[in-house]
């Protein structure tokens, strides 16, 4: 799984910028840098973890390629736990490519996507869940997803899982000692004790599993769709939330013919919000396509915002739409209250969040934003000491560990010998080890790091 050759890559985004960084890691990193970096001080005399000014010079021609700042970092106190050099060049792509080509010509190999982080994992600098947090941090869409990624990178999730895995391994050891060495003067562990300990462990795992819905929302955001009959204010709501005149707004029913998509941020939650065609029976071929697409989006949405006209209340056509969304997470908006003499509240569905709104007067928008937050996060989005599960791979493995523990407890309930519980407990420990990388295949490691960007 491990390759010890020296790797290099451009670690900053391609394009024009003030600074571009080329990273080199491996046993030959210092020798390569010494051959191409020229400054007043010899490279070998430069202290570790300092920055030096100089020039990158092609040793074969003597040509100066760029004036740079170079960082020298000796192992093991580096990200990869290898010797690392970072060359801070001017940010033009031509300059960066020329310096990188020179580094490769001097003996380095172009790094694969995520290979620097992969080496940090293989060299024990971070575990696998922390490595996955690196890419989550890079891809963070908002402050909350960044906060969740930093906590995982700090090892908060790893600490919880390590404690659980240690408890499982201790149970396995106690069972095997009891079964294999009954003649020794060792306190035997009973099936009742094992079952009680497994109950405590499964409770901890279920707490983590339950955090996944919130973690997924923070990491990936919410898909929300605005629905309702024509001319109830769907496009006006999209424009108000996004702060743009993205959708055409008129008094003519059926103006929106297709799905209009916008990305917004509400109280730190990224939301992909869709304005759909008004749902009604129509003979207009183009509008009918839009209505069909709206119905498909309803099925896939995390949240449905249904808009009603306060002047008419809940009409038969509204009821037909409501019946399509009644099993979804939903918010009902009663719009145009500024135009309604009286709201027929008796016609409205019971037990549903209903917000009275006037987009014209700016009434109800803050209430809607708060209701969306409360619907997905009852209270604070992330508390100071909370660890959220945000990764689908982690959730699947924890679910498998829970199933294995349940199987072990079922063996106890059925009166099986305690050694029959061992295999399921071992499986649970194995699944948890796959999250942190303590027991994981090379193929899984390769798949995870292949998703990283080049240079990280």
Backbone angles phi, psi at 20, to 5 degrees: -130, 140
* Least confident segment among 291-295, 307-311, 357-361: 291-295
Mean pLDDT of 181-185: 54
Long-range CB contacts for residues 259-266, cutoff 8 Å, separation at least 24: 259/290, 259/293, 259/294, 259/297, 260/235, 262/238, 263/221, 265/142, 266/241, 266/369, 266/372, 266/373
pLDDT of residue 443: 78
Length of the chain: 456
Residue 167: per-residue pLDDT: 93
pLDDT of 254 above 60 = no
Q: What are phi and psi of 250, to 5 degrees?
A: -140, 175
Picking from 152-156, 285-289, 321-325, which range would have the lowest pLDDT averaged per residue?
285-289
For 453, half-sphere exposure in the C-beta direction (CA atoms, 13 angstrom radius) is: 13
Domains defined along the chain, listed by start: 7-127 (3.30.1360.120), 134-211+388-437 (1.20.120.430), 221-376 (3.40.50.300)
Return the pLDDT at 289.
Answer: 58
244 pLDDT above the threshold of 90: no
Q: What is the pLDDT of residue 374?
A: 84
Cβ-in-10-Å burial (0-12, 13-18, 19+) of 329 comes to middle
Tokens linked to 13? 């985004």
Share the mean pLDDT of the chain. Answer: 84
Report the predicted TM-score, pTM, of the whole model to 2 decimal places.
0.71
* Per-residue confidence (pLDDT) for residue 433, from 0 to 100: 93
Q: How far apart are CA 123 and CA 109, in angstroms?
A: 19
The whole-angstrom separation of Cα 286 and Cα 256 is 10
Would you say residue 258 has pLDDT above 80?
no
Q: Given a cut of 50, is residue 256 above it in pLDDT?
A: no
CA distance 118 to 113: 9
Q: What is the mean pLDDT of residues 304-309?
A: 90
Query: Residue 73: is its pLDDT beyond 70?
Result: yes
pLDDT at site 229: 85
| pLDDT beyond 80 at 182 | no
pLDDT in tens, 55-66: 999 999 999 999
Given a cut of 80, whether residue 383 has pLDDT beyond it is: no
Asked if pLDDT for residue 3 goes beyond 90, the answer is no
pLDDT level of residue 250 (50, 70, 90 thresholds): very low
Distance CA 51, CA 324 (A): 63
Give pLDDT, residue 349. 80
pLDDT of 379 over the 70 cut: no
Q: What is the pLDDT of residue 42?
A: 92
Average pLDDT over residues 416-423: 83
Determine the Cα–Cα distance for residues 174 and 270; give it in Å rounded to an integer: 48
Residue 402: per-residue pLDDT = 96
Q: Over range 94-105, report the average pLDDT.
A: 95
Q: Identify the three-state secondary structure at position 7.
A: strand
Tokens of 52: 């030096």
Does 136 have pLDDT greater than 50? yes
């Amino acid at each position: 799984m491990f390759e010890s050759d020296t790797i290099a890559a451009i670690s900053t985004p391609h394009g024009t910028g003030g600074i571009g960084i080329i990273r080199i890691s491996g046993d030959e990193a210092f020798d390569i840098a010494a051959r191409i970096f020229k400054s007043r001080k010899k490279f070998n005399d430069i202290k570790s973890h300092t920055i030096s000014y100089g020039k990158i010079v092609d040793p074969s021609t003597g040509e100066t390629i760029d004036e740079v700042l170079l960082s020298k970092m000796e192992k093991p106190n580096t990200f990869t736990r290898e010797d690392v050099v970072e060359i801070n060049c001017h940010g033009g792509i031509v300059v960066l490519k020329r310096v990188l080509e020179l580094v490769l010509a001097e003996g380095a190999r172009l790094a694969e996507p995520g290979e620097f982080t992969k080496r940090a994992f293989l060299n024990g600098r971070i575990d696998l869940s922390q490595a996955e947090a690196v890419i989550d941090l890079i891809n963070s869409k908002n402050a909350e997803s960044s906060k969740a990624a930093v906590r995982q990178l700090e090892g908060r999730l790893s600490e919880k899982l390590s404690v659980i895995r240690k408890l499982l391994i201790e149970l396995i050891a106690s069972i095997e000692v009891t079964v294999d060495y009954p003649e020794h003067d060792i306190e035997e562990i009973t099936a009742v004790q094992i079952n009680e300990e497994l109950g405590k462990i499964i409770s901890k795992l279920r707490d983590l599993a339950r955090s996944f819905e919130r973690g997924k929302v923070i990491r990936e955001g919410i898909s929300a769709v605005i629905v309702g009959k024509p001319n109830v204010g769907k496009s006006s709501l999209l424009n108000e939330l996004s702060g743009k005149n993205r959708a055409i707004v008129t008094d003519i029913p059926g103006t929106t013919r297709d799905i209009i998509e916008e990305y917004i941020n509400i109280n730190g939650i990224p939301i992909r919000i869709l304005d759909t065609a008004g749902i009604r029976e129509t003979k207009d071929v183009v509008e009918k396509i839009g209505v069909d697409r709206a119905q498909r989006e309803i099925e896939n949405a995390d949240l449905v915002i249904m808009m009603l006209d306060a002047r008419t209340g809940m009409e038969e056509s509204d009821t037909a739409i409501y019946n399509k969304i009644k099993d979804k997470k939903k918010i009902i908006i009663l719009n145009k209250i500024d135009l309604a003499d009286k709201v027929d509240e008796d016609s409205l569905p019971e037990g549903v969040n209903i917000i009275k709104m006037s987009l014209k007067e700016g009434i109800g928008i803050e209430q809607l934003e708060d209701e969306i937050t409360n619907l997905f996060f009852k209270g604070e989005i992330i508390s100071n000491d909370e660890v959220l599960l945000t990764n689908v791979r982690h959730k699947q493995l924890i679910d498998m560990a829970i199933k294995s523990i349940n199987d072990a407890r079922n063996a106890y309930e059925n009166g099986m010998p305690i050694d029959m519980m061992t295999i399921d407990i071992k499986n649970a420990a194995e699944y948890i080890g796959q999250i942190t990388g303590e027991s994981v295949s090379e193929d899984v490691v390769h798949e995870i790091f292949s998703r990283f960007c080049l240079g990280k």
